[in-house]
Amino acid sequence: MLAFGAVAAQDANVVTIDNFTFAPKELTIAVGTTVKFVNHDDIPHTVVEKKLSFRSKPLDTDDSYSYTFATAGSFDYFCSLHPHMVGKIVVK
Protein backbone atom coordinates (compact mmCIF):
# COMPACT_ATOMS: atom_id res chain seq x y z
CA MET A 1 0.00 0.00 0.00
CA LEU A 2 1.31 3.40 -0.93
CA ALA A 3 1.83 6.10 1.60
CA PHE A 4 -0.38 9.10 1.01
CA GLY A 5 2.51 11.23 -0.21
CA ALA A 6 3.46 8.68 -2.83
CA VAL A 7 0.23 9.02 -4.76
CA ALA A 8 1.47 12.01 -6.71
CA ALA A 9 4.44 9.97 -7.88
CA GLN A 10 2.27 7.46 -9.69
CA ASP A 11 2.74 7.45 -13.42
CA ALA A 12 -0.45 9.21 -14.31
CA ASN A 13 1.84 11.63 -16.10
CA VAL A 14 2.01 9.84 -19.40
CA VAL A 15 1.97 11.45 -22.82
CA THR A 16 1.05 9.02 -25.54
CA ILE A 17 2.01 9.37 -29.18
CA ASP A 18 -0.72 8.09 -31.40
CA ASN A 19 -1.43 8.83 -35.04
CA PHE A 20 1.21 11.60 -35.17
CA THR A 21 -0.27 13.33 -32.13
CA PHE A 22 0.95 13.90 -28.59
CA ALA A 23 -1.86 13.38 -26.06
CA PRO A 24 -2.54 15.26 -23.96
CA LYS A 25 -1.18 18.05 -26.10
CA GLU A 26 -0.60 20.19 -23.03
CA LEU A 27 0.10 18.79 -19.57
CA THR A 28 0.51 20.70 -16.31
CA ILE A 29 2.62 19.09 -13.62
CA ALA A 30 4.42 19.98 -10.40
CA VAL A 31 8.18 20.48 -10.18
CA GLY A 32 9.93 17.16 -9.71
CA THR A 33 7.36 15.17 -11.70
CA THR A 34 8.49 12.58 -14.19
CA VAL A 35 6.65 12.45 -17.49
CA LYS A 36 6.75 9.33 -19.59
CA PHE A 37 6.27 9.61 -23.35
CA VAL A 38 5.11 6.40 -25.02
CA ASN A 39 5.01 5.84 -28.77
CA HIS A 40 2.02 3.80 -29.93
CA ASP A 41 2.59 4.45 -33.63
CA ASP A 42 4.11 1.99 -36.05
CA ILE A 43 6.83 4.41 -37.01
CA PRO A 44 9.52 6.11 -34.92
CA HIS A 45 9.02 9.44 -33.21
CA THR A 46 11.19 11.58 -30.99
CA VAL A 47 10.49 14.00 -28.15
CA VAL A 48 12.67 17.11 -28.37
CA GLU A 49 12.30 20.24 -26.30
CA LYS A 50 12.65 23.44 -28.34
CA LYS A 51 15.61 24.70 -26.32
CA LEU A 52 17.03 21.18 -26.12
CA SER A 53 16.63 20.89 -22.36
CA PHE A 54 15.68 17.31 -23.15
CA ARG A 55 15.61 15.13 -26.21
CA SER A 56 14.86 11.48 -26.73
CA LYS A 57 16.34 9.01 -29.14
CA PRO A 58 13.97 7.80 -31.84
CA LEU A 59 11.27 5.76 -30.13
CA ASP A 60 10.09 2.65 -31.89
CA THR A 61 6.62 1.22 -31.35
CA ASP A 62 5.83 0.97 -27.62
CA ASP A 63 9.19 2.43 -26.65
CA SER A 64 9.11 5.15 -24.04
CA TYR A 65 11.17 8.06 -22.85
CA SER A 66 10.97 9.53 -19.36
CA TYR A 67 12.12 12.93 -18.20
CA THR A 68 11.93 14.49 -14.76
CA PHE A 69 11.16 18.22 -14.74
CA ALA A 70 13.29 19.76 -11.99
CA THR A 71 12.53 23.41 -12.73
CA ALA A 72 9.34 25.36 -13.22
CA GLY A 73 8.56 26.76 -16.63
CA SER A 74 6.92 26.11 -19.92
CA PHE A 75 8.48 23.46 -22.14
CA ASP A 76 7.45 23.28 -25.77
CA TYR A 77 8.50 20.13 -27.51
CA PHE A 78 8.14 18.51 -30.89
CA CYS A 79 9.07 15.42 -32.87
CA SER A 80 12.28 16.05 -34.78
CA LEU A 81 11.20 13.60 -37.48
CA HIS A 82 7.79 15.26 -37.92
CA PRO A 83 8.15 18.85 -36.70
CA HIS A 84 4.44 19.56 -37.07
CA MET A 85 3.93 17.27 -34.05
CA VAL A 86 4.06 19.59 -31.05
CA GLY A 87 3.17 19.50 -27.39
CA LYS A 88 3.77 21.39 -24.20
CA ILE A 89 4.57 20.64 -20.57
CA VAL A 90 3.84 23.35 -18.02
CA VAL A 91 5.75 22.89 -14.77
CA LYS A 92 4.52 24.78 -11.70
Which residues contact Cu ion by CB under 5 A?
45, 79, 81-82
Nearer to Cu ion, 45 or 67 (CB): 45
Is 55:48 a contact under the CB 8 Å cutoff? yes
Gap between the Cα atoms of 49 and 76, Å rounded: 6
Q: Residue 1: CB partners within 8 Å, gap ≥ 6? A: none
**Residue 64 C-beta: closest distance to Cu ion, Å:** 14
Gap between the Cα atoms of 40 and 29, Å rounded: 22
**Residue 5 C-beta: closest distance to Cu ion, Å:** 36
Gap between the Cα atoms of 22 and 24, Å rounded: 6
* DSSP 3-state of 77: strand
Nearer to Cu ion, 45 or 91 (CB): 45
Nearer to Cu ion, 79 or 89 (CB): 79
Nearer to Cu ion, 82 or 88 (CB): 82
**Residue 15 C-beta: closest distance to Cu ion, Å:** 13
**Residue 57 C-beta: closest distance to Cu ion, Å:** 13
